[in-house]
Amino acid sequence: MQRSMTVLMALEGRDERLRVSVAIEQNGDECVFAESILDIEAAMGSIDVVLTDTSFADGSFADWLSLWPVPAVLVAEPGEDPLRLASLIADESSTFCLRDPEGNWERFAPILLRKAVAVRESLDRQNVNIVRAESSYMNLLRMVPDIVYVLDSDGCFAYLNDAIMQLGWKPSELIGRHFAEVVHPDDVVEVGRNTVLRRYEGVATGDEGAPKLFDERRSGERMTKGLEVRLRHKDEFEWTRASVDSWGEVNSLGVKLPEFQGRGTGTIGIIHDVSERRELARQLARELDSRELLLKEIHHRVKNNLQVVSSLLSLEGDCITDDGTRGVFTDCQTQIHSMALVHEQIYRGSSFDGIDAAAYFARLAEYMANVHDAQDRGIQIEVAAPSLVLPIDTAIPLSIIVTELLSNAFKHGFPYGREGRIRITMEEKDGEYELAVSDDGVGFGSAASKAEPAKAKVPGRKGIGMDIIGALASQLGGTFTQSGTAGSRSILRFPVVRV
């Protein structure tokens, strides 16, 4: 059931007023009559709608009708100027009717009055909902820890939430001021439209290469995402202390808002404080640098210690007159030095993941050639290995294996002044590495041998060296074979280990 309404009757004609009031009261509504503007002002707080005409109070009331806080139905003369009539009922809940000679308008007046009241009540409910929603959103924005801002088309702040107080500013202090007030002076030229876009004139960037702007005007895929800027504290002196250096990650887009009053497209943006994240990244970088320095120092010391051991063996070997015993010392010395070279490659390199195979084998070949007087004996040594990274757990066993094979080649492959060539090759085949050490020396003096189990004693030459090779091949999960009568060829196959 609809509620009753109170109608203020401000009509110039008394007879019309009486007839219309009867029709209104028949619907259960109440009428209040006004003879002057003063009567209207006195009744305004208790009425729901106004019924008046363009001649009441010499038309002065109609001229001010849109300023009154209640809806109105205006009775106009047939000859009324449409433009003036439209201006008199600018309120969207108000309406009009034409006074016809037969007085038919009087029968429709109650309907129009009821309609005007219903429209106003609907608008009031909508406005209440809008105000409630706006209030909720504003309260939410005030609670958001990130800085939320709105810029007008000139780049000046139209809105800031309370999070800006993290930088020492009150929102009211920055409204109407340029965004450069909160961006570090050195960064303004890198994030402002006026300076950045000049550098991109005539350049096709695509979505990925589009410049990032604090005062963004674009939307969609070209909007600004993840722009990092330094934020300026209100107390400029604090910039001399690194501890207050704040970084913000900006996401912004262009938008047209009625608040700009036709001044073009503005910006809505949010700034997330990433100072802690950047400081953590710097701290991790410092710790990583310290760790790398420590690891380099460890590998350097291990290499030095191994060299000391090698030198001690060399000194002890010089005191031994028996050639066989001295050879054992030399073999131990070369094995130790080959492992020292692994640590040397690591601490001299740029990565601790492992060593470069090509560089290491070249360095080992040079060392072994010097130990066994290769140049004076006319023996050349060649290396053909790819530039792949071997982890240290693989490199150490390989260094011992290759050193043992090179020592055997120099000792047994070229007797009685025989000249020749030794080759070290390494390649990847079918998911395995194949490391081969071959020579064109005298060979084994027997037919090619077949692959043996990794831990089995390798046929051919005797000695603990071959047992060590077999054990290390097993450690690598690979197989070791030897062959050759005219020259020799030793092949180690083991699974590929990716670094």
**Could you tell me if 38 and 117 lie in one domain?**
yes
Beta strand 95-98 pairing with 72-76: parallel
Q: Is residue 269 part of a domain?
A: yes
Q: Is residue 239 part of a domain?
A: yes
Q: What is the DSSP string of 440-470?
A: SSS--SSPPPPPB-TTSPPSSS-SHHHHHHH
Give the whole-angstrom CA distance, residue 231 versus residue 180. 9
**Could you tell me if 317 and 343 lie in one domain?**
yes
**Could you tell me if 368 and 487 lie in one domain?**
yes
Question: 263 in helix, strand or coil?
Answer: coil
* Total number of domains in the chain: 3
Tokens coding 447: 């037919």
Q: What is the pLDDT along the chain (499 residues), one digit of tens a residue?
A: 578 899 999 998 888 889 999 989 988 899 999 988 888 888 888 999 999 998 888 888 888 877 788 899 999 988 888 888 888 887 888 899 999 988 899 999 999 999 999 998 888 888 888 777 777 777 777 778 888 888 888 888 988 998 888 888 899 999 999 988 888 888 888 888 888 888 777 777 777 778 888 888 888 777 888 888 888 888 765 443 333 345 677 788 777 766 545 556 788 888 888 777 777 777 787 777 766 666 666 656 676 766 777 777 777 677 777 767 767 777 777 777 777 777 676 656 656 677 788 888 888 888 888 888 889 899 999 999 888 888 878 888 888 888 889 888 888 888 888 899 999 999 988 889 999 999 998 887 543 333 333 333 334 434 577 888 888 899 889 999 988 777 899 999 999 876 5
Q: How far is CA 89 from the centre of its chain?
A: 55
| CATH number (domain holding residue 116) | 3.40.50.2300
Give the whole-angstrom CA distance, residue 159 versus residue 175. 6
The pTM of the full predicted model, rounded to 2 decimals, is: 0.45
**94: CB partners within 8 A, 6+ apart:** 65, 66, 71, 72, 73, 74, 116
Amino acid at 425: T
| CATH number (domain holding residue 378) | 3.30.565.10
| CATH number (domain holding residue 239) | 3.30.450.20
Of 240, 273, 306, the domain-final residue: 273
Q: Is residue 57 part of a domain?
A: yes
Q: 299 with 343: CB under 8 angstroms?
A: yes
What are the phi and psi torsion angles at 299 (to 5°)?
Answer: -65, -35
Q: Is residue 487 part of a domain?
A: yes
**Could you tell me if 66 and 21 lie in one domain?**
yes
**Could you tell me if 149 and 220 lie in one domain?**
yes
Sign of CA dihedral 55, 58, 64, 70: negative
What are the phi and psi torsion angles at 414 (to 5°)?
Answer: -135, 70
Q: 425 with 384: CB under 8 angstroms?
A: yes
Q: Is residue 370 part of a domain?
A: yes
Q: Is residue 1 part of a domain?
A: no
C-alpha angle 312-314-315 in degrees, rounded to nearest 5: 65
What pLDDT was estimated at residue 199?
A: 79
Count Cβ atoms below 10 Å from residue 301 Cβ, excluding itself.
Answer: 12
Q: Is residue 201 part of a domain?
A: yes
**Could you tell me if 335 and 441 lie in one domain?**
yes
Bridge partner list, 434: 427, 493
Question: 325 in helix, strand or coil?
Answer: helix
Which residue range forms the structural domain that includes residue 351?
281-495
Q: How far is CA 491 from the centre of its chain?
A: 49
Give the whole-angstrom CA distance, residue 160 versus residue 138. 11
Sheet with 95-98, strands from edge to edge, namely: 30-33, 6-10, 49-53, 72-76, 95-98
What pLDDT was estimated at residue 344?
A: 72
What are the phi and psi torsion angles at 438 (to 5°)?
Answer: -130, 160
**Could you tell me if 314 and 189 lie in one domain?**
no
Q: What is the pLDDT of residues 205-245, one digit of tens each?
A: 777 778 888 888 888 777 888 888 888 888 765 443 333 34
**Could you tell me if 65 and 11 lie in one domain?**
yes
Helix H or strand E encompassing 33:
strand 30-33
Q: How far is CA 202 from CA 199, 205, 222, 298, in A?
A: 9, 9, 17, 55
What pLDDT was estimated at residue 422?
A: 93
- Rg value, the chain, Cα: 47
Q: How far is CA 334 from the centre of its chain?
A: 51
Of 140, 169, 200, the domain-final residue: 140
Of 247, 273, 299, the domain-final residue: 273
**Could you tell me if 490 and 383 lie in one domain?**
yes
254-286 in b/e form (b: 16+ CB < 10 A) is bbeeeebeeeebbbbbbbbbbbeebeeeeeeee
**Could you tell me if 328 and 401 lie in one domain?**
yes
**Could you tell me if 41 and 121 lie in one domain?**
yes
Amino acid at 347: Y
Q: Is residue 388 part of a domain?
A: yes
**Could you tell me if 226 and 84 lie in one domain?**
no
Beta strand 246-255 pairing with 266-273: antiparallel
